[in-house]
Amino acid sequence: MLAKRIIPCLDVKDGQTVKGTNFLQLRQAGDPVELGKIYSQQGADELVFLDITASHEGRKTFTDMVQKVAAEIDIPFTVGGGISELRDVERMLLAGADKISINSAALRRPELIDEIVRHFGSQVCVVAIDAKQEDDGAWTCYLNGGRIPTERDLFEWAREVNDRGAGEILFTSMNHDGVKQGFACEALSRLASELTIPVIASGGAGRMEDFRDVFAQGHADAALAASVFHFGQISIPDLKEYLRKEGINVRPPVPLSGE
């Protein structure tokens, strides 16, 4: 049976991770390649690297980092941030990324999804959606990292993304993100029932129970989190053991070397 995936997300600025990672005895704290390698050894199923650099030079640094990740890490990884045209996708895939993630660029020009799928296949195309549940209960999609609201409804946009051939949807609930009170299971469950492609849940991980619920109630295919892993609140081997005991099908934590 296909396993539910656990995905740590690393924000990268000028080639360095921006969130604290002092709990891991890194030779180079803040090196995304080293951190990614440790997560991979701990049993992460995939990695996401998000480029939050604004400058042109930073972009070059990010491409160099993607090449290092591809050379050194033996699990699949997705890169996102600043990808707005086919040329950016090609650069990331040539550098060795397995998948790319697009967000605002897809909302601004949905045909980008079709183009990526036609050129590189649906499996490389992850569409990230940031959405917020408004006071009237409706879910609205946002642009530019949640700063600009759009007219688009989450479920309507997700359906369009699905039908244009994207490989996966990475849905972040802005209401839940950073609150650490659990994922948006109701919205996730509705997405799972309406879509035919996998959904990665993001935003809200605080406790191990939240991961159980996002799979058992939210019917997500994968769960993404950042700070609970970076700050050591949850370790991936512990999380996987817990989920297995709760009856969730996950890839077992890999044995430590020499074990």
Partner 1 sequence: MKVAVVKYNAGNIFSVVHALQRMGVEPLLTDSPEELRSADRVIFPGQGEASSAMHYLRERGLDKVIPSLTQPVLGICIGQQLMCRHSEEGDVDCLGIFDAEVKRFVPLRHEDKVPHMGWNGITAPSPLPLWGSTTSANSIQLFKALPQRGSGEGATPFVYFVHSYYVPVCKHTAAITEYIHPFSAAMHKDNFYATQFHPEKSGAVGQQILRNFLETP
Q: Which is nearer to partner 1, 14 or 98 (CB)?
A: 98
Q: Which is nearer to partner 1, 71 or 137 (CB)?
A: 71
162 part of the interface to partner 1, by CB under 8 A: no
Q: Which residues contact 34 (CB under 8 A, 6 or more apart)?
A: 26, 27, 28
What is the rounded distance in angstroms from the CA atom of residue 63 to the CA atom of residue 79?
10
Token output for 121: 């296949």
Least spacing, CB of residue 119 vs partner 1, in Å = 10
Task: Choose which of 187, 197, 223, 226 interacts with partner 1 (CB under 8 A).
Answer: 197
**Nearest-CA neighbor of 8 among 66, 98, 62, 78?**
78
252 part of the interface to partner 1, by CB under 8 A: yes
CA atoms within a 13 Å half-sphere pointing along the CA-CB vector of 59? 11
What is the rounded distance in angstroms from the CA atom of residue 202 to the CA atom of residue 184?
8
**Nearest-CA neighbor of 75 among 52, 49, 43?**
43
Token output for 85: 């045209």
153 part of the interface to partner 1, by CB under 8 A: no
Could you tell me the CA-to-CA distances from 130 to 201, 233, 240 in Å, in that order? 11, 25, 27
Task: Choose which of 87, 137, 147, 255 interacts with partner 1 (CB under 8 A).
Answer: 255
Among candidate residues 45, 51, 88, 130, the one labeled active-site is: 130
* Contact pattern for partner 1 over residues 4 through 43, marking x by CB under 8 A: -x----------------------------------xx--
What is the rounded distance in angstroms from the CA atom of residue 36 to the CA atom of residue 257?
17
71 part of the interface to partner 1, by CB under 8 A: yes
- Cβ proximity of 25 and 40 under 8 Å: no
- Choices 74-82, 133-141, 144-152, 207-215; region in contact with partner 1 by CB under 8 A: 74-82
Q: Which is nearer to partner 1, 91 or 207 (CB)?
A: 91
Q: Is 130 a catalytic residue?
A: yes
By the criterion CB under 8 A, which residues form the site for partner 1?
1-3, 5, 40-41, 45, 70-72, 74-76, 93, 96, 98, 120-123, 167-168, 193, 196-198, 221-222, 244, 251-255, 257, 259
Active site residues: 11, 130
